[in-house]
Amino acid sequence: MIIVMSPRATAAQLQHVIERIEALGYHAHVIHGSERNVVGAVGDERGKFQLQSLESLPGVDSVVPILKPYKLASKEVKAEKSIITVGHVKIGGPRLVVMAGPCSVESREQVMETAEVVKRAGAQILRGGAYKPRTSPYSFQGMEEEGLKLLAEAREATGLPIITEVMNPREIEIIERYTDIIQIGARNVQNFSLLKEVGQCRKPIFLKRGMSTTISEFLLSAEYILSQGNRDVILCERGIRTFETATRNTLDLSAIPVLQGETHLPVVVDPSHATGHWRLVPPMAKAAVAAGADGLMIEVHPHPEEALSDGPQALKPERFIHLMEELRRFAEVAGRTL
Amino acid sequence: MIIVMSPRATAAQLQHVIERIEALGYHAHVIHGSERNVVGAVGDERGKFQLQSLESLPGVDSVVPILKPYKLASKEVKAEKSIITVGHVKIGGPRLVVMAGPCSVESREQVMETAEVVKRAGAQILRGGAYKPRTSPYSFQGMEEEGLKLLAEAREATGLPIITEVMNPREIEIIERYTDIIQIGARNVQNFSLLKEVGQCRKPIFLKRGMSTTISEFLLSAEYILSQGNRDVILCERGIRTFETATRNTLDLSAIPVLQGETHLPVVVDPSHATGHWRLVPPMAKAAVAAGADGLMIEVHPHPEEALSDGPQALKPERFIHLMEELRRFAEVAGRTL
Amino acid sequence: MIIVMSPRATAAQLQHVIERIEALGYHAHVIHGSERNVVGAVGDERGKFQLQSLESLPGVDSVVPILKPYKLASKEVKAEKSIITVGHVKIGGPRLVVMAGPCSVESREQVMETAEVVKRAGAQILRGGAYKPRTSPYSFQGMEEEGLKLLAEAREATGLPIITEVMNPREIEIIERYTDIIQIGARNVQNFSLLKEVGQCRKPIFLKRGMSTTISEFLLSAEYILSQGNRDVILCERGIRTFETATRNTLDLSAIPVLQGETHLPVVVDPSHATGHWRLVPPMAKAAVAAGADGLMIEVHPHPEEALSDGPQALKPERFIHLMEELRRFAEVAGRTL
Amino acid sequence: MIIVMSPRATAAQLQHVIERIEALGYHAHVIHGSERNVVGAVGDERGKFQLQSLESLPGVDSVVPILKPYKLASKEVKAEKSIITVGHVKIGGPRLVVMAGPCSVESREQVMETAEVVKRAGAQILRGGAYKPRTSPYSFQGMEEEGLKLLAEAREATGLPIITEVMNPREIEIIERYTDIIQIGARNVQNFSLLKEVGQCRKPIFLKRGMSTTISEFLLSAEYILSQGNRDVILCERGIRTFETATRNTLDLSAIPVLQGETHLPVVVDPSHATGHWRLVPPMAKAAVAAGADGLMIEVHPHPEEALSDGPQALKPERFIHLMEELRRFAEVAGRTL
């Protein structure tokens, strides 16, 4: 932590800052500058809230953190990439993993039909929402346990592991009973109570970046899960909120190499929620593979114009099959398989 | 809902859109334009997810909603302003309500000392966090029930009603037992499970706008609570996330008149979290009063440089007392009392 | 400038960084941390581009500037507030200055009628655009010199100094001949060629913050003008671009106290462009006064529904007159006059 | 244009809106809704400022544009893709075009060395700035005409056409004399005076998207150039400003397919300015190719740690050569050559 003093700070103010730093168990190291002094607080700054409060002291201009605030998520603690195993599927290894399926589970026909298509196209995991976070209370809220049963039935029929979202700590138990991967949605990325509770689950956690979550905050949310003992965390970039309205969100693909420089956890991209328009999904899926993503989450619906949620962003079966063929070629050039 | 057809749409595509609109129970009304046609879908569009999915149909360019998506929160359903009563305090009436206290409850001394100051200065409600949403799992997480007891003790001593935050549906019961107002923090504004559960509480809910929540989404989050039967919702603007880094967030004071044009619910402003720096709190508090806010939430700490969370944004007691005097004069000019 | 080394940096890499720092004329000062080292480069970092390039060296993680990048705009160089004189009007002094008038000059009747109203209401400066920056080439582009003549005629008739915008360096000469204050619009805030040229004018410059300009960049744009010898710069906050669409821009009122902490230059607020809706102008104008602004720029049009640009945000004459009366009371409480 | 009436609008207010629409030369078409009425204004809405001003009329809630505001840039006017020819190079055709070189021209050695490398690696155009837009007036401002001469010399030596930026209308003439493509930088994307003047040049214009420019506004800026008669406009996505600070800007790759759906103009991506870090340039360059870009602009510098501007984002020669080899394989899979 670097404490930047004001140009008008007195010697007594500087001395007081030094004393507070040392009282908090850090070593203070002053650099006398041409216009102002700065003080380095040497020590592990991760329990840093108290150092930050030094900003309130007279003569202090600002407090600048130097160390990364996350530990278990960082490559400094674990240099080799994490590979997360779900049945026969390995996420984070050389083979790219595609998770596909409908936004919401709506009926047995819809789930079974989509699961068959998804499997035939070469996707390895089936996605589908049973408990749905909807902006409006008047929108379809999901089939709940009935939906979980349909997903399990589709797994039975196709052999594909399933992923579904949890929103409420009270529902973790029932969801964990059915699903293979537990998804935390973008709106819950800083629902710290939920993060702590899924950190105690034995199933892998798929954590979506929030609409206004910085990469550093995103890794701290992963750290919440990891610090509870669950080491199987998959990160998902799904678009951030910006001023641009031509797309539902702005897909931040540079998050892939930035994350890969910081963490050992696998990084998956969801081009469906990021763009909100099915026409934009194929180019963004290919771009994600080229940028080094470990996998993709893609929405597929047999009849998008009748979907109960997010119809405009779902691919029809034949388009998804075609996309998978294209992706295979991009994966190869990127040094991966699919 | 207005369905905008593509300039190249065929007559058959237009016909299919009309049929789908009518199949969903709406009346279709075509306007033949100079370059493209648009179709109005007449009817209550609030259960609108299905109309939105028409965007997937061939020949459709976009789907534009016309009606506001919220009902119970809107002035169209309830034109007169809602006044929410907490003990002797009325929120939303002619008298401005100031809620003040520490970010986190840290000790009996800290809470009792702050409560006394806050009361003496003329604030009407005591704030303090016992369960804390912290970006890092290594930061202080709050005193939990112990903290609730200290808040209750401070209420006993001063007569001030208290407000504290709930993060986990499992903790609603215990928090409701102690507190007078239940706060939903910015990070949980779209934690729909939590919103539904507090919608069944009998205590008023203080709902903070999220860092990237539009005003329309914010009102839909209020609608979640209202639609469960709890009509006592207080809205709080606390800054949104932008590119600017000189302040912790960007306080969106224009949200006050925009909200007041849309909803009957009271609107409170939190300049402490919005700016992140105590020096900026007084000017923004005055500006909020001038812009028509119904109240303020302000952080006060007897020793900000030792605070376990958010020290830089807390006012010292003497500065808070001075600010309250200034605010009284602004309130008067704004046609309110304090 | 603080150079943060990577945790894996070698001693040789650290040594090379030290040598480069000293070769650039700075003094290098190393702090050996618990996990990584940091190097302070002591000296005036304002010609800093070369230090920033050290980020390319092996073993360097990041380069963090410490000093403010602006000089002449800063309070460190000039502690007392600048007061800018335009005829009888002083901007930055105890009396608030209101600049009002139409977005565009459209006709003699419109300008003369508005100028009379504006003067009667107590505004001190008349605004009006003759050269208009319009997003579309098919929108009205302004009356050009004809418009300047009408503004001058209105000044003649009312005694009000005038302010108008310049977009092209080639038009500076003609605009300077007519106007009392030269306005640089938000879209030209980083049009450095234009800034340099108006820096050589003898008339005061009214510089609007851009839609995505940080406060630090805004002051650097002012620095461009100041460094050419023109010391009369007035800063104007007019809203920044965010994800919120309920308002045209998001008015960042916290910029007022932030700027006042950094610079001696006067700060004016434009609530018309910030909000884009006339209903929101009065509350935001009052809030700006409460937050400490030195003045306001407000659009007034006798017939907003017929305006050739920005009609929705213009106040009708009677509403403007009423607002000025209200503002007078807020100014008084804020310790100012109007 | 759709005029949305307020739910409380009277019949007289509706009638007045209809009259105003017809007075402006449009045909009014009313849809009577369940809660509110909407009025379609049928006709070419591109000279639309006056319709927008209807928002000021009593009883009007909002005005929603339906038609795209640009004409010449749109695929509706020109369906086939534009191919822009610069010497032997074709931009927008099947072969991808890479423009590479230093941020700033700094010396003969630097330019010549870089030009050789860039050519050897297979890039087709040499970039280099002679007039530099720098945030600070104290940063290196470019070698000006001396720099143009060095670029021309490098063209002589290598046969590569050159591209360089213009900032001031007064410098168009001299720059046009030396360069093959004229670049308009991100900060000047809404410098409408400059756009109009380069619209009269005979050289192709390379237009960078601004940091906070929507795609629709970006196309309107292109329209400014096109409407002056210059049909050779190349669009460049170079990152937009968001809350994320891990990268210099957020590269919006979804802009590629969105633009390709709207316009016939070629789309190039600049991953160097978008990310600000050389490590992120290769993955983002590959992603841009996968997403369908027509070309790339990449910064290359023989000694990035000594660069006078933007050193951290420049690739060293050997890294650029390696990247070009990788890009060739991605181009092939994307159905292009390089």
Chosen from C39, C46, C60, C66 to mutate, greatest number of chain A CBs within 10 A: C66
How many other C-beta atoms lie within 10 A of the C-beta of residue D335? 9
Token pair 């923090």: residue:
B185
**What three-state secondary structure class fits D254?**
coil
Collect contacts of B121-124 with beta carbons under 8 A, ≥24 apart. Answer: B121/B317, B121/B320, B121/B321, B121/B324, B122/B98, B122/B324, B122/B328, B122/B338, B123/B98, B123/B99, B123/B160, B123/B298, B123/B324, B124/B89, B124/B97, B124/B98, B124/B99, B124/B160, B124/B161
The beta-carbon neighbor of A333 closest among D243, D246, D329 is D329
Q: Which of B8, B289, A211, B12 is nearest to D242 (CA)?
A: A211
CA distances from B294 to A326, B249, C253 (A): 57, 21, 18
Chosen from B50, B103, B138, B211 to mutate, greatest number of chain A CBs within 10 A: B138
As a whole number of angstroms, the distance between CA D178 and CA D149 comes to 7
The beta-carbon neighbor of D76 closest among B7, B34, B76 is B7
Token pair 């992706």: residue:
A327
Number of continuous H segments (helices) and E segments (strands) in chain A: 11, 14
Residues of chain A contacting residue D329, judged by C-beta atoms under 8 Å apart = 333
pLDDT of residue A203: 98
Could you tell me what percent of chain D has a pLDDT over 90?
A: 82
As a whole number of angstroms, the distance between CA D117 and CA D106 comes to 16
Once rounded to an integer, what is the mean pLDDT over residues D241-246? 96
Residue B207: enclosing H or E segment and its boundaries? strand B205-208
For the segment C127-136, what is each residue's pLDDT rounded down to a tens digit?
Answer: 999 999 998 8
The beta-carbon neighbor of D243 closest among B35, B40, B242 is B242
As a whole number of angstroms, the distance between CA A286 and CA A279 comes to 13
- Above 60 in pLDDT, residue D286? yes
Which residues, in sequence order, are CB contacts of A40 under 8 Å at separation 6+? A1, A2, A3, A28, A29, A30, A31, C31, C33, C38
| Average confidence score pLDDT of chain D | 94
Q: Which residue in A has a C-alpha nearest to residue C242's C-alpha? A: A243
How many other C-beta atoms lie within 10 A of the C-beta of residue A173? 11
As a whole number of angstroms, the distance between CA C1 and CA A34 comes to 11
Structure tokens given for C85: 């004189």
Greater confidence, C140 or B273? B273
Bridge-based pairing of strands C267-269 and C233-237 is: parallel
pLDDT of residue C49: 63
pLDDT of residue B30: 92
As a whole number of angstroms, the distance between CA A327 and CA A24 comes to 53
Closest-CA distance, B319 to chain A, in angstroms, reads 13
For the segment C177-202, what is each residue's pLDDT rounded down to a tens digit?
Answer: 999 999 999 999 999 999 999 999 99
pLDDT of residue C51: 82
Once rounded to an integer, what is the mean pLDDT over residues D229-237? 98
CA distances from A244 to A251, C271, D130, D240, D249 (A): 11, 23, 32, 9, 14
CA distances from D321 to B205, D100, D268, D336 (A): 60, 11, 19, 19
Instruction: Say if residues B74 and B68 touch (Cβ distance below 8 Å).
Output: yes
pLDDT of residue A46: 60
The beta-carbon neighbor of B53 closest among A46, A187, A304 is A304
Token pair 């619009």: residue:
C185
Structure tokens given for D114: 């870089």
For the segment D163-172, what is each residue's pLDDT rounded down to a tens digit?
Answer: 999 999 999 9
Chosen from C31, C42, C48 to mutate, greatest number of chain A CBs within 10 A: C31
As a whole number of angstroms, the distance between CA A293 and CA D291 comes to 14
Query: Which residue intervals of chain A bear CATH 3.30.70.1140?
Result: 2-64
Beta bridge partners of D97: D295
Question: C1 pLDDT band (50/70/90 cuts)?
Answer: confident
Bridge-based pairing of strands C89-91 and C84-86 is: antiparallel
Closest-CA distance, B202 to chain C, in angstroms, reads 32
pLDDT of residue C46: 60
CA angle D308, A254, A331 (to 5 degrees): 125
Query: Which residue intervals of chain B bear CATH 3.20.20.70?
Result: 84-333
Tally of CA atoms within 13 A in the half-sphere of A138 that contains its CB: 18
- Above 60 in pLDDT, residue B41? yes
Once rounded to an integer, what is the mean pLDDT over residues D6-21? 93
Instruction: Say if residues A52 and B311 touch (Cβ distance below 8 Å).
Output: yes
Q: Which of A68, B65, B59, B142 is nearest to D61 (CA)?
A: B65
D33 contact B CB<8A: yes
Tallying the residues shown for chain A, one arrives at 338
User: Among residues 314-333 of chain B, which lie with CB inside 8 Å of chain C?
Assistant: 329-330, 332-333
pTM score, two decimals?
0.96
As a whole number of angstroms, the distance between CA C126 and CA C101 comes to 6
Q: Which of B68, B47, B73, B67 is nearest to B225 (CA)?
A: B73
Instruction: Say if residues B88 and B181 touch (Cβ distance below 8 Å).
Output: no
Closest-CA distance, B156 to chain A, in angstroms, reads 30
- Above 80 in pLDDT, residue B101? yes
B62 contact C CB<8A: no
Once rounded to an integer, what is the mean pLDDT over residues D305-310? 86
Token pair 């690739």: residue:
D315
Greater confidence, C260 or D309? C260
pLDDT of residue B45: 63
As a whole number of angstroms, the distance between CA A127 and CA A118 comes to 10
> Which chains, if any, share at least 3 CB pairs under 8 A with chain C?
A, B, D
State the SS3 of D261-318: HHECCCEEECHHHHHCCHHHHHHHHHHHHHHCCCEEEEEECCCHHHCCCCHHHCECHH
For the segment A19-53, what is each residue's pLDDT rounded down to a tens digit?
Answer: 999 988 889 999 988 788 999 988 876 655 678 88
Candidate CATH numbers 1.10.1740.10, 3.40.225.10, 3.20.20.70, 2.40.160.20; the one for domain A84-333 = 3.20.20.70
Q: Which residue in B has a C-alpha nearest to residue A17's C-alpha? A: B305
How many other C-beta atoms lie within 10 A of the C-beta of residue C88? 9
Token pair 């409420």: residue:
A168
For the segment C37-57, what is each residue's pLDDT rounded down to a tens digit?
Answer: 999 988 876 655 678 888 889
Closest-CA distance, C66 to chain B, in angstroms, reads 14
Token pair 């934690």: residue:
B191
**What three-state secondary structure class fits A114?**
helix
Residues of chain B contacting residue D47, judged by C-beta atoms under 8 Å apart = none
pLDDT of residue C48: 59
Q: Which of C289, C282, C288, C286 is nearest to C319 (CA)?
A: C282
As a whole number of angstroms, the distance between CA D183 and CA D273 comes to 14
The amino acid occupying position B61 is: D
User: Among residues 252-311 of chain C, which lie with CB inside 8 Å of chain D?
Assistant: 277-278, 304-309, 311
Residue B140: enclosing H or E segment and its boundaries? none
Question: B329 pLDDT band (50/70/90 cuts)?
Answer: very high
pLDDT of residue A218: 98
B50 contact A CB<8A: yes
pLDDT of residue A45: 63
pLDDT of residue B1: 85
- Domain boundaries B2-64, CATH class: alpha beta
Q: Which of B182, B186, B180 is nearest to B171 (CA)?
A: B182
C214 contact B CB<8A: yes
Q: Which residue in D has a C-alpha nearest to residue C63's C-alpha? A: D312
DSSP A213-277: --HHHHHHHHHHHHTTT---EEEEE--B--S--SSSSB--TTHHHHHHHHBSS-EEE-HHHHH-S
The ranges of chain A with pLDDT < 50 are: none
Instruction: Say if residues D291 and D255 touch (Cβ distance below 8 Å).
Output: no
Structure tokens given for A169: 């700590």
pLDDT of residue D214: 98
pLDDT of residue D47: 57
Partner-chain contact D35 B4, CB within 8 Å: no
Residue A337: enclosing H or E segment and its boundaries? none
DSSP C32-97: E-SS-EEEEEES-GGGTHHHHGGGGSTTEEEEE--S-S-STTBTTT--SPP-EEETTEEESSSB-E
Burial class (CB in 10 A: 0-12, 13-18, 19+), D12: exposed
Dihedral in degrees, nearest 10, Cα atoms A225, A228, A232, A235: 10
Partner-chain contact D31 B32, CB within 8 Å: no
pLDDT of residue C308: 86
Greater confidence, B54 or C258? C258
Label residues B98-137 b or e (16+ Cβ within 10 Å = b).
bbbbbbbbbeeebbbbbbbbbbebebbbbbbbbbbbbbbb
As a whole number of angstroms, the distance between CA C155 and CA C85 comes to 17
For the segment B196-252, what is each residue's pLDDT rounded down to a tens digit?
Answer: 999 999 999 999 999 999 999 999 999 999 999 999 999 999 999 999 999 999 999
